[in-house]
Amino acid sequence: MSTKSEREAIEAVVADYLEGMIYGQRDRLERAMHPQCMQAGHFNGIYEFFDRETFIRSIEAETALPPGTSYRSEILSSDMTGDVAVVKVEDDCFGTTFTDYLTLIKHDNQWQIVMKAFFDHANA
């Protein structure tokens, strides 16, 4: 695969992650995030260190937007070495702006998020 198509594949995973979270779509989050993915950061001033399932359950407790609703997000940077990539993305969701640092690994010809650290701007 060329670097361009690898980046497009990574961006598709990021889109699944963002829209799975914003639209409350468990299947998209499960596709984007490795089953053993961990995520950490402070949300509403509370430190979270969650596995994928706990994270998805916490998202399901939030008010999701209807699928297709526009939202703001921007990939601020991305870096790839072989089968590892790091993406910095800023997005508006759940009444705040997040900066997410997503680490992805390609395994069995599929990119997935394996680690996520985030910053909650409104509640810092």
The tens digit of pLDDT for each residue in 68-86 reads: 999 999 999 999 999 999 9
> How far is it, in rounded angstroms, from Cα 38 to Cα 35?
9
Count of Cβ atoms closer than 10 Å to residue 108 Cβ: 5
Which pLDDT value is given to residue 8?
A: 95
Which pLDDT value is given to residue 4?
A: 78
Which pLDDT value is given to residue 2?
A: 55
State what percent of residues in the chain have pLDDT above 90.
Answer: 92
Two structure tokens written together for 16? 């699944």
Q: Domains along the chain?
A: 3-120 (3.10.450.50)
DSSP code string of 70-107? ---EEEEEEEEETTEEEEEEEEEETTEEEEEEEEEEEE
Q: 8-46, pLDDT tens digit by residue?
A: 999 999 999 999 999 999 999 999 999 999 999 999 899
Query: pTM here?
Result: 0.93
